[in-house]
Structure 1
Amino acid sequence: MKRSWEIIKKMGLGAIPILQLRESLFQESQLTQNYLILSLGSCLIATLGLIINSAAVIIGAMIIAPLMLPLRGFSFATLEGDIELLRRSFNAIFIGTFLSIVCSWIVGLIVSIPEFGGEILSRTQPTLIDLLIAIFAGGVSGYAKIRPSVGDAIPGTAIAVALMPPLCVVGLALAQGEWQIASGAGLLYLTNLIGINLACVIIYFLGGYAKSNELARTLSWGVSLILIMLLAIPLGISFWQLISKAKIHDSIEEILVTRSLVNRRDVKVFNVSINWRKQPPVVLVKVRSVDPIEPNEVKIVETRLKNELEHSFEVIFEVTPTQIIKTSDQDK
């Protein structure tokens, strides 16, 4: 073990002395006025961006959000057994998290969103892919910390792992009493936290910042790995459900486009979407048609989907009237 540790230390990624790294992380993990104002500002921007369904506004909020800074300090503290740094970083993470949820909750109560957009709903079903993104982004963030020359990578990792938007979704969902959406967004935030923590611990270890005896005494490895395994169960189930829903969507689209209303050549399907939050799921079909679609024709489609997919769906057609005009009509 000792020989292996010496090899790792010689080939380590570390670029700055351990005391300098600790001091820098100590400063970043303090609960300062700047930290609180940036957290509040980022939360407000992200919340409003989620409400208007604007990806550009949300990305701007991700860059401002300072939550990544104390999280790196928390990882270092668990690896080194540094109680003071652990306390400071934990307080900053907890208060930043609590402040963001409360702030977005208040905005949600004031605005009272009638319907959640795609930017909100996309953050309510975390999968194993999100965990991998958090691990890789956390690794890059940790590497950028021990290699100040690549510090420009921090904004990119903040955008990739997106700590603030899930918190804002939690607040907005709680304001509307949507507990399922809130729990899904909360799981995504927890996934990001654990993934980043594990990745940073690994980077600090490979950088030679942990002594072998300290590493043996710390529980950070065991705790992180246990949490990752516990997360893998719901994330794996969610990933499998996501794949299943995608397959069903493709099947429904194929049925509607190639076989639905076969005697109606005037009907052209141009968009199919499924609202899985409803029971039964609602299939919204946007079509262009010369003549109206009758309720009995919709019933035929619902029956066909149930027979072929062995699942009940409510089908709603949104019809855009069209008019066919030919040059030959001019002669009539």
Structure 2
Amino acid sequence: MQIVHATFESGEGGTAVEILLELGVDIEDYKLIQSQTGDLLIINLLYGHADKIIDKLKGQFDFSTNEDRSLIIFTPDTVIPRNKEKVEKSKSRASKETIVTYAKESAQLDSNFIVLAIAASIAAALGLIVNNIPVIVGSMIIAPVFGPIAAMAVGIVLGNWKLFRKGLGAEIVVVAIGIIIGYIFGAVIPDVSINPALRVRMFPTIADLLIAFAAGGAGAYSLIADVKSQPLVGVVIAAALIPVMAALGIGISMWNLSMVYGTSLLLFGNLFSLLLAIIVIFYSKGLKPQWWYESTAQEMIKKSLVFLIIAVIILTIPLSVITYRQMIKEKPTEIIRELYKEQFKDQLEARLVSINTNPNLKKTVLVLYVPAKTRKFLFDQLANRIKERLGADYRVIFEVIPTNIIQPSLSNLDK
């Protein structure tokens, strides 16, 4: 349920009431207070056609330039209704004006937006570099990334090019900030290596696109149902974007083409999936433009859906290849790597030269440095553990490079 406080010049309230009567609003759902200083109309938006009420009032009266008129829409915290059935029907979604206002305010490029974007990017970059998951999650909480995407989607659905461009501009700014800060920290901090936090974004999969699509749908649904609940889902949406932006900047600083390629795929894939999901939810939930923008909106929705669907399909091709490698081809290698670390207590893999695995032939070859006196049963144990995980018919071959420890005498060092 939402409530409208509309103020008019003295005597205009009667005309506004006539509009409500034409739309079938019950007399118990509005109150008109008239005075010499102006009229106040209070409307309980308990109907599915709440947007029509607001559009009719805005079409009849100029609220934007006339200082004697105003239109305030708010959601009460508690309602004790006389007609519970009406209130239940009114819970379908927030009014269009509420959603548009949220989109405009969230895509506003002001100092608050810039500061939050910088702070979130710093936290994301540092969290990725040191592989600190809580810090990365913290960056998602403060990142202002959902608002601009929502503004773009609202602009498309309502045929509002100005709002779309505003959201697009804000999103470009936050993406640029995330990449630049990631680059700076990647270049300044010495010995940055590819850790698990970076690796997972370096090799995106189809699952990442599905997660982004689900997050976009959840964010749009929460926004259109109740704007107050949006920040909770906004964290999930930020998870699909802000760490990826920072990872892309770090990849550029390392001149790692694989990371740049992978994170770029993930970033654009997530952006397109989020936007596609939000547009679909907004449109399916009945977010409609004012009638004079209807043809423009239909054209924008059609072109946007065609572009986004084609873009997602194109991005799916390389992501499918990476998914195959990650989940099918390289999965045995990851299992063997973890078992090796546990068996030889070599967490840094300093002695492991390579692992060559062929799932089709069910064969793996490990090349490693070990002390010359290493007992054979350690290799037998590792081979048995690998077979337990990958199958008894797996062939495990070790190519061992024996090493000797030499401790030079102090007298030789002095010379």
TM-score, normalised by the number of residues in structure 1: 0.73
Cα 1:30/1:133, change in 2 over 3 Å: same
**Are the equivalent residues in 1 in contact too, given 2:140–2:242 (CA < 8 A)?**
yes
Partner of residue 195, structure 2: 117
Listed as ranges, the gaps of 5+ residues in structure 1 are 1-5, 258-266, 302-307, 319-332
Cα distance in 2 for residues equivalent to 1:314 and 1:192: 42
Partner of residue 136, structure 1: 214
Cα distance in 2 for residues equivalent to 1:175 and 1:169: 10
- The Cα shift of 1:109 comes to 1.2
Q: Judge which range, 20-29 or 246-255, deviates more.
A: 246-255
User: Does 1:77 find its partner at 2:159?
Assistant: no
**Are the equivalent residues in 2 in contact too, given 1:270–1:287 (CA < 8 A)?**
no
Secondary structure of 1:209's aligned partner = coil
208, 227, 230: which is aligned to 1:151?
A: 230
User: Does 1:22 find its partner at 2:100?
Assistant: yes
Partner of residue 261, structure 1: none
Cα 1:314/1:36, change in 2 over 3 Å: farther
Partner of residue 220, structure 1: 304
**Are the equivalent residues in 1 in contact too, given 2:156–2:297 (CA < 8 A)?**
no
65, 77, 80: which is aligned to 2:143?
A: 65
**Are the equivalent residues in 1 in contact too, given 2:369–2:401 (CA < 8 A)?**
no
Q: Judge which range, 65-74 or 281-290, deviates more.
A: 281-290
User: Does 1:229 find its partner at 2:313?
Assistant: yes
**Are the equivalent residues in 2 in contact too, given 1:273–1:285 (CA < 8 A)?**
no
Cα 1:247/1:125, change in 2 over 3 Å: closer
The C-alpha deviation readout for 1:200-226, integer Å capped at 9, x for no partner, is 001110121135745531211111111
281, 284, 303: which is aligned to 1:203?
A: 281
- The Cα shift of 1:113 comes to 2.9
Map 1:1-332 to 2 at 5 A: 15-146=93-224, 147-151=226-230, 153-158=232-237, 161-210=239-288, 213-218=295-300, 219-249=303-333, 252=336, 268=343, 291-292=373-374
Give the AA of the match of 1:239: T
Cα distance in 1 for residues equivalent to 2:113 and 2:402: 49
Alignment length, in residue pairs?
Answer: 289
- The Cα shift of 1:249 comes to 2.4
Give the AA of the match of 2:214: F
The C-alpha deviation readout for 1:95-115, integer Å capped at 9, x for no partner, is 111111111111111113342
Secondary structure of 1:182's aligned partner = helix
Q: Judge which range, 71-80 or 30-39, deviates more.
A: 71-80
Q: Judge which range, 178-187 or 107-116, deviates more.
A: 107-116
Cα distance in 2 for residues equivalent to 1:268 and 1:313: 14
The C-alpha deviation readout for 1:106-140, integer Å capped at 9, x for no partner, is 11111133422111111111111000000000011
TM-score, normalised by the number of residues in structure 2: 0.59
Cα distance in 1 for residues equivalent to 2:234 and 2:375: 51
**Are the equivalent residues in 2 in contact too, given 1:71–1:197 (CA < 8 A)?**
yes
Cα distance in 2 for residues equivalent to 1:254 and 1:63: 32
Cα 1:155/1:19, change in 2 over 3 Å: closer
Cα distance in 1 for residues equivalent to 2:105 and 2:185: 31
Secondary structure of 1:123's aligned partner = helix
Cα distance in 2 for residues equivalent to 1:254 and 1:41: 35
CA RMSD of aligned residues (A): 4.2
Using the aligned pairs only, state the percent identity.
24
Cα 1:274/1:200, change in 2 over 3 Å: farther
**Are the equivalent residues in 2 in contact too, given 1:274–1:281 (CA < 8 A)?**
no
The C-alpha deviation readout for 1:50-106, integer Å capped at 9, x for no partner, is 111111110001111111110111111122221111111111111111111111111
Give the AA of the match of 1:232: T
Give the AA of the match of 2:232: A
- The Cα shift of 1:49 comes to 0.8
Cα distance in 2 for residues equivalent to 1:255 and 1:24: 51
Higher helix share: 1
Q: Which has the higher contact order (CA 8 A, sep 6+)?
A: 1
Secondary structure of 2:202's aligned partner = coil
Cα 1:140/1:239, change in 2 over 3 Å: same
Listed as ranges, the gaps of 5+ residues in structure 2 are 1-47, 52-88, 358-364, 384-392, 404-415
Cα distance in 2 for residues equivalent to 1:314 and 1:40: 49
Cα 1:102/1:214, change in 2 over 3 Å: same
Cα 1:293/1:165, change in 2 over 3 Å: farther
Cα 1:249/1:18, change in 2 over 3 Å: same
Give the AA of the match of 1:105: Y
